[in-house]
Structure 1
């Protein structure tokens, strides 16, 4: 049914076909499909004017609108949606390049897809009259929306009404036996996130625990999956009495002090882990989520639905088994201020619309005062009356190496010092963990982890005013990295990063993640020295989002008006306008200008015509298992290695992998672009059922697209270590080939420490000989 209400006959796609020559464009000709589907797709279209195409499956076709400014992110925003011709259902999976001279020439990529549901039973009649209320349930978008005709065709208005969408029916959820599930983790953010779909909880000071009940047996697991049932005594028995059904609960084991606050120190005393007998204090279990009930896997449900299932258990507000108290969205900032006033750790915030996703850090953590884990790398002998030692030497693991983080000498009780020394003595070593000036350090093997509270991180990366909190037996040293986000209480932090003034530093760039503009700038400063070798003397293209991801986003290859500081623009011999940067200041200046993504050319100046690297982008269809994507990268690596060419690999920051071949600036693109195509073609010929080099998305269903088109003069690819403009702030992270097999599909996020694999350090540019080119049949 079209927006005008006209009847749909066999010519429903006539207007679509009339505008296109399918001998010249990779777009699908398509045909009318079944009438029962409810799919939707949003495609980003870099055509003559950048816009988004919004398509709803109706009556066997995709009814389509062009939305110049993208989908509305809040109820306050209204978007013009221009009704265009219906598209075939096959267009819902189309991505590729529409050649110049064709209708809609430009690049088409899928921005989001999923299922839509009409809100009203008589929606067809309403739609014929120019109005449609509907729900979207997709990868990026969840919620209720409204399309309404605005005057005459083709203009409509598109609005967002709420973030709530109907949950998946329980009968469609998986049924399984309960077993330990990796925990959903939280990322540190600088401000409490805003939005109607968030709820907030006080951050508890205890051990994160997962309670798994199978039959009459209850097991209690730590975040690393260690079975600590015996340590908690009767707590498991009490939890088992909550229901006769099997379940998995997520919560925190805590001990409350006399003022009702949770205390990690009191919990450790109750567990007898400080070298003492158990104190006898009551250990409580505070439950905040349910992941499984009576054979049903509840993790795909949004949190709002999981909390309704949690209501079925008899959890009270007080006592040894209690329900975590939540506050609505509007109370978040006030709750945080009150938590800090009372000396609590901070606030945990969760989106009601999100499923339980251990591979993504969807929850956020706002800290009143910086506090995190550090690795004990050594200690200093005692001074004056202090027993055992005077301070611990701390470090974190960054890029697979230990980095010094200063010392902590306060916060210890005398018995804690002696107990810690007993654990440290067997770990003594003559090997220094890193270089520091103090020669009195007694070095130890970096195996113990302690939690420390501190005032700030100094410019050289050390903690200031550190205070010992506890020994963390539930965490290993390989998990310990420095938090990438500043403390939420640092209201007096400078708005300068790397000497660059950051305007509007608190503007939220990633709305669903609470990441601000100054944090993006600080991230670029943090990874800048790693990125620069891949950016210096390279023309750049950037993706800007001056108002954050909720606003307009656009690519830019030159600066026609204002040129940011430390950014240099020039004109190449053929008239192409390009810009470059020379140092980290230039990188931070781009962040100040609203840049999120940075895409360098594959060839450096002076003219960008002789590449120093080639790239193959392995882009899988959504149905392709992750293990096949990794296998494809290894196959491509081995194919080139057989010809004497060594490659490196990085994540795309999305669902794929980038295999990169560093080369000497010997041949031009006229030689090397056909080379990359032929390599892709020969790999694809090894398994046509698994691979394709055809850009048409309709022809690569269930396959991995080997994209060689990122090679050519002016073609670009996301820079190593660069953040992507997507929810979760994923990063295009370099990895070693040896780590690829264990890599999870979620990849790496903005909050995780950057790594420099040895593969990337050791590889040198190689010649592509005429013999290799001839071997490929070129």
Structure 2
């Protein structure tokens, strides 16, 4: 059986080859094999293959008229518009070759190693839609939609001497758009140097030699490649096109389930997973289902007809890395289904082993993967998520009755004796157990309905450095580990065991590419610095350890593998949550003071926005999995709360075309590229008087369409379109030093409120989506902007004067230590503040949410994130700012005089 188990990377290449092979039709033309009329303007394929032949280069290939038009580019593409990369046009290649990754034998044309560096679709730019003319005239302009290649590009054929070369010389150029990079930005070929399909390096592809392409057979009808079994070296010809296993299961009886009572729905895209709180002990009362905790990757399987997607907990598509599991899901006798579970490698004793799982992904090790499914999220056009977990699992068992047991299994459970099961799990060296409320609905985000108990200490840590091995080998001696507390990376100790010789070298290559001169750790101890080589904190390692020492260092830490499904910014020190209550089996913790009202209500769900989006599945924030579709759905759902604060006002938008972590920019002017429905208001330039077209948004459709532009922040003016020169809203921004406690920030906001109240001004408060608070008050628009700014400045100066040890009104960052900066500069013409209920362009995609003043009475700083919408969505049902727009309050002459401003 072992020789039949292919490494995941090999299966992924098979899937790619099958996909490209399905595009060909040998009857269309005889040159070259594989030629066909393929694709349309909207779905033309492209690929870029990194090719180590006589010299290393990048083969740039655009699918057109049934072949791959091809150019060899020595340096590869560059996102800097000033770089002109030589691209030598070579002969057309068959479409099928676009799916190839592997080895071309020495002595054959192109002999060497081939990596699929990027792939996707392309389309001609507007005004350049005649591709044949562009190829003929040497002027090809196009837009790319790949994983690494995005935006506008051009291929321009060179004249002069270059025009007389044997093979036409072209230049590959990046054109100006939101994706371009400055000259000093890291090269995309250096930053993103792994296979887009298998995640492998060139060395790993060369060492495995799992697929071989015979160049001499390219012109023949039939298959020019074969797959070699890595363990025996035996060629394994795959002549038949890959067909979905769903066809083989067509005759299988569909599960006889009564779905009539379930709500109908269109199958949703990625669903934010329900997460478990950590606890010390398992609940023993009735009403709980206890499952073994698996040591693998959380995965959501989504089958829609013949298509299957395997999505990580943050929404990344790993289908190509899990072809055997995807095939097993495809074979299920359902039309549409969404499953929730964990992909693992099973050890001989039935336990799960994350190190083996990681080796399967990273090193091509041949460990069979098994997908344990524990929840049912969608079934044949119906939504079961509102059912009790016990009922969902009963349906799930029926759905999986005919599943392939090697790759797809039902996650069993016990309904009693949680503590006994926990102890038994530890005896069996399992990771622990999960206890889930049997009556619970499926809820996105972390909830006490699910509790996790671990037998062993194990969690993720950020790699902030490493040491060299004492024997002088090419690997690593130990990893230097940490976790985040706020924005600070805290040193947690070293791990010098658990590496294989191969993994040690592989990780060393990755770490060398992240080397930096300065440490990212916050004040690391002397022993951490000894022999340390610092790296940028981007890699996340899974670590098993005995315990924490008294000085908060890891004891007996062993490396298990690298986590590719979790962003470094998410890694915090894990601590046990509240112990479950025993009465009636309930484990709901008491609500904090800042969440009293919302917890008692039923959660809302995001409504589907009825606006057109291109690439709705695009992930805008890797740390939380927020997609463009989720952003549009949020704006659509929250529109009744957002629009009263932004409608009829000029807006500035913060756009992140490449998502959080990429380049961001403000846009305030209307352009032809904006989605339909977005309005325009003419605003006179305060220096020249020339009218400038500012963006304004007045309806739900226009608001949701901002997601198409990857708009993650909305900033309105403090004045309205029909009275631009006189503000009707003031914002005092409390920006605290990170060292200050949340209670101190709350007390400061209350002080500002009380001071305003003394001036006869009622005010309101909201979170900023960050660490501070905004105190906001509305007024009848009477003061013009210069006097409004003067009043705001005098106001904060008065507050600072009452408590100069806490407050600061100067912008000097060095003076802010231990203080709260009172920012009044939001209150001048053209300045803006983030809108209530707007998302923020930061990791996690927080939301600026209005609060009731009573919610500042204590507790922890509330955090509202788009990905966790279900946990705080009930706030949209009531409005603590309902009176803001109704109050007709004025800044009186007495109020002006009180802060030292004359009217």
Q: Give the TM-score, by structure 2 length.
A: 0.41
Q: Looking at secondary structure, tell me which structure has more helix per residue.
A: 2
Q: Give the structure with higher Rg (CA).
A: 2
